[in-house]
């Protein structure tokens, strides 16, 4: 079964199809804003939706390695970079929505507001941690940095994921609405916990006679 799925994932149409699927929410939001279909508070809808899609793309990116190793789907690796770049894309749109629709691109007001509100501070930190990841997401960067340093740098994604989750928690805390946050928290715990378990297992000394 894994051979069939790997073959499908390696098909030349897979990447364009994934690109279109992950871009579709942005296109819908763009059309919804233009056609006035985003409800009574379109600015809030745009900001919240781009934040939601940042977390969703981040979860998909983090899911690539566990799925690849657990199911033998090595071809998934060719899609991880695309998903990671879309995570940064939606995260940037999320911050842009705040800077434009909430703050009117007033740079002084933005710089003063970020440290005053913890959820904005950690959200901004999460996005800033994604910048070097997006900037080094091409093959030449791997050659320039070396594979080992590149892998260490890209471990920043874990800190970004935790900060993004904390950002979402504090946003929901004001309304005491943690249902959606709990789903993301459980998924993140599974994806990051799997990595911790794998590392601990790799460091465990082999049993005598094994």
Give per-residue pLDDT as tens, 63-78.
999 999 999 999 999 9
Q: Report yes or no: 161 and 62 within 8 Å, Cβ to Cβ.
A: yes
Please state the domain extents for the chain: 42-66+80-203
Mean pLDDT for all residues in the chain: 94
Q: Indicate whether 34 pLDDT > 70.
A: yes
Element of type H or E holding 139: helix 139-145
Is the pTM of the predicted complex or chain greater than 0.85? yes
Instruction: Return the pLDDT at 64.
Output: 97
Give per-residue pLDDT as tens, 81-134.
999 999 999 999 999 999 999 999 999 999 999 999 999 999 999 999 999 999
Q: Report yes or no: 133 and 152 within 8 Å, Cβ to Cβ.
A: no
Distance CA 85, CA 91 (A): 10
Q: Indicate whether 9 pLDDT > 50.
A: yes
Give per-residue pLDDT as tens, 174-187.
777 889 999 999 99
Distance CA 189, CA 178 (A): 16
How many residues comprise the chain?
Answer: 210
């Amino acid at each position: 079964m894994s051979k069939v799925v790997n073959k499908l994932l390696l098909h030349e149409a897979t990447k364009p199809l994934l690109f279109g699927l992950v871009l579709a929410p942005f296109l819908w939001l763009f059309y919804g804003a233009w056609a006035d279909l985003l409800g009574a508070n379109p600015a809030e809808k745009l900001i919240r939706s781009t934040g939601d899609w940042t977390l969703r793309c981040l979860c998909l990116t983090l899911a690539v390695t566990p799925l690849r190793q657990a199911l033998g789907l090595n071809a998934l690796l060719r899609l991880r970079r695309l998903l990671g770049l879309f995570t940064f894309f939606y995260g940037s749109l999320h911050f842009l929505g705040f800077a434009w629709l909430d703050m009117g691109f007033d740079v002084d007001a933005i710089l003063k507001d970020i440290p005053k509100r913890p959820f904005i501070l950690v959200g901004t930190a999460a996005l800033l941690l994604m910048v070097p990841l997006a900037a080094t997401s091409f093959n030449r960067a791997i050659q320039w940095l070396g594979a080992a340093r590149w892998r260490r740098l890209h471990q920043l994604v874990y800190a970004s994921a935790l900060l993004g989750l904390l950002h979402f928690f504090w946003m929901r805390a004001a309304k005491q609405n943690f249902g959606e946050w709990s789903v993301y928290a459980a998924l993140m715990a599974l994806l990051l916990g799997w990595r911790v378990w794998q590392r601990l297992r790799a460091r465990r000394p082999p049993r005598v006679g094994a």
